[in-house]
Amino acid sequence: MVAAKNFPVILTDLMVKWLDSFERDTVDEIMNLGLFTWKDTGKKRSKKKLVIDADHKIFIRTLPSEYSIYFNEISESCLQVLTIKDVEVRRTVFEYFYSNGVFSKGKKILI
């Protein structure tokens, strides 16, 4: 298991469990960890805009390419995860559901 004590205090237990499930072997490649939220734009075409919470963004290390992970905890069992694997690559957000000690990935990409 990934040691929770090595992560910033802004991460909840659910976020640490997700990291342990999906990033156990690549945790040393993460450059930034943090939180994000959604902002309503009021526009019909794109109703929500992703906003990275600058107050809850932790820089971990300098690496040759960006690999950052940001979380939005919806509930005790629902977690939205933004991954940025490179600056030129589009950001992706998926929803994950935690039940009986296992995460399942939502089928729809949120952005």
- What is residue 8's predicted lDDT score, i.e. its pLDDT? 67
Domain assignment of residue 21, yes or no: yes
Of 4, 7, 23, 11, the closest CA to residue 83 belongs to 23
Q: Does 110 reside within a domain?
A: no
Task: Please check the confidence at residue 17 and state whether its pLDDT lies above 60.
Answer: yes
The more confidently predicted of residues 73 and 27 is 73
Over residues 23-70, the pLDDT tens digits come to: 888 888 888 999 999 998 777 666 788 999 998 888 888 877 788 999
Query: What's the pLDDT score for residue 1?
Result: 47
**Confidence at residue 48, expressed as pLDDT on a 0 to 100 scale:** 81
By DSSP bridging, strand 68-75 and strand 48-59 are unpaired
48 vs 50: CA distance, rounded Å? 7
Decide if 97 is inside a domain. Answer: yes
Question: Alpha-carbon distance 35 to 37, whole Å?
Answer: 7
If pLDDT is split at 50, 70 and 90, which confidence band does 90 have? confident
For residue 72, give its domain range. 4-105
How far is Cα of residue 100 from the mean position of the Cα atoms in its chain? 21
How many domains in the chain? 1
The answer to the question of residue 70 being in a domain is: yes
Q: How many CB atoms lie within 10 A of CB 92?
A: 13
